[in-house]
Structure 1
Amino acid sequence: MKSICVYCGARDGRNAAHAVAAEALGQSIAAQGWRLVYGAGDVGLMGRVARSVQVAGGQTFGVIPTHLMELEVGKRDLTAFVVTETMHERKKVMFMNADAVVVLPGGAGTLDEFFEVLTWRQLGLHQKPIILLNIGGYWDPLIAMLDHVVAEGFAGKATRDFVQVARDVPEAMSLLA
C-alpha cells in the first residue's frame, strides 16, 4: 500500500479553499487505496484530511508527541496511532512510513517539516517526491524564496527541482501516480 505523508496546519486558516482542498486530498488518497500518514491531530487542516480519509474508507497512520496530545486533540480512532516523546521522533516516524510528501498550507510547523525533508533530499538521504499543494497561490512566496536561494548561489538548481508544485488536488494526485 502506498503511503502519503501530509504536512499541514493544525488550524484551518482564513481561506476556506484550504479546508476544501484538505478534505478533497483525504478523499482522493482513500479513493486510490493509499494510506494517509500525518501528525495525528483532530484539529485544523490535519483533522480535515484524516476525517475525509476515514469517511471514504481509507487507512490512517497518525503520529503525535505526548506534549501535543491535548493541544492538537490527538485523534485516537485511526488505523494506527503512534505517540512519541519528541517532535524529532514524530517527524522521523512519519517520514519513514511514507512514500511521498504532500504539503498543504500551514504555519511554522509545516514549514519546518517541509524544509527538513527538502534538506534530506538535497543531501541524498531519500528520493521521495515532495509536492507543495499551492491552493490559491498560498506557497507562491515560498516558491519565490526557493528560486531566490538558487539564483543567489546557495543551492543548486536540483534543490528547486526536488519540489513539485500542484495548483489543486487533481494535479497533486497526478504527480503522485
Structure 2
Amino acid sequence: MNICVFMSAADLDERYTVPAREFATLIGRGGHTLVWGGSESGLMKVVADGVQEAGGRLVGVSVEFLHTKARENADEMLITADLAERKAQLLLRSDAIVIMVGGTGTLDEATEILELKKHGLHSKPVVLLNAAGFYDGLKLQFQRMDAEGFLPLPLSDLVFFAEDGAEAMAYLEENA
C-alpha cells in the first residue's frame, strides 16, 4: 500500500516523535511505501528514517522552493512547481492518507483531502493520527459539523481518528 503521510517538518518533542516513529516502523515492516513531502527535516525525517530502516520504500514529493531540503536517498523524488501540484501528486500516488501533527501546512493538506473526499473526488481512507491528543479540538469541531448538518456524509465515512499507530494501520489495512 502507498501511504501518504501529511506532517510537520518541524523538530518536535517525544510526545509526537515516538508515535510517528512507531507508525513509520509499521509502514516499513508491512512492506508499504511512504509517500510524503520529501523533506529531510523534523518529523518528516523521523518518519522517513523509520520507514526506511524497517524496509519500506520512500516516495517524496517536494516543491521547487523547498528542493534543497529534499531527502537525497529516497527511492523516488518528484519536485513540483508549487504546493497545489504537490498536494495533487501526493493524493495521486497514494492508496491511503494519514495526517500526523503539524502546523498550517498540514492543516491545509488535511482539509483539502477531506473536502475532495466529501465531494466524491476520491474514496481513499483518511486517518487523523491523534498523537498526545493533538487533534482533540479538531475532532470536536468535526463532530459539531456532523451533528449540525454541515457534512453531506457521516463523519465516520470521511475520516477516522486513531489514537496510535497500530490503530491507524489496522484501519488502513481493513479499508484501503
Q: Tell me the TM-score normalized by structure 2.
A: 0.93
Q: 2:110 aligns with which of 107, 114, 117?
A: 114
**SS of structure 1 residue aligned to 2:154:** helix
Matched, 1:176 2:175: no
Q: What residue in structure 2 maps to residue 69 of structure 1?
A: 67
**SS of structure 2 residue aligned to 1:69:** helix
CA contact (8 A) 2:37 2:44 kept: yes
CA contact (8 A) 1:104 1:133 kept: yes
RMSD (Å), alpha carbons: 1.3
CA contact (8 A) 2:143 2:155 kept: no
In the TM superposition, residue 160 of structure 1 has moved relative to its aligned partner by: 5.2
Q: 2:50 aligns with which of 47, 52, 63?
A: 52
C-alpha separation between the residues in 1 aligned to 2:116 and 2:155? Answer: 10
C-alpha separation between the residues in 2 aligned to 1:56 and 1:160? Answer: 31
Q: Write the mapping of 1:125-164 to structure 2, written as runs, cut at 5 A.
A: 125-159=121-155, 161-164=157-160
Paired positions, count: 173
C-alpha separation between the residues in 1 aligned to 2:55 and 2:143? Answer: 39
In the TM superposition, residue 35 of structure 1 has moved relative to its aligned partner by: 0.4
Q: What residue in structure 2 maps to residue 8 of structure 1?
A: 7
CA contact (8 A) 1:23 1:52 kept: yes
Q: What residue in structure 2 maps to residue 29 of structure 1?
A: 27
Q: What residue in structure 2 maps to residue 96 of structure 1?
A: 92
Q: What residue in structure 2 maps to residue 78 of structure 1?
A: 74
C-alpha separation between the residues in 2 aligned to 1:137 and 1:85? Answer: 34
CA contact (8 A) 1:30 1:57 kept: yes
Identity of aligned residues (%): 37
C-alpha separation between the residues in 2 aligned to 1:56 and 1:102? Answer: 18
Q: What residue in structure 1 maps to residue 101 of structure 2?
A: 105
Q: Tell me the TM-score normalized by structure 1.
A: 0.93
C-alpha separation between the residues in 1 aligned to 2:162 and 2:81? Answer: 33
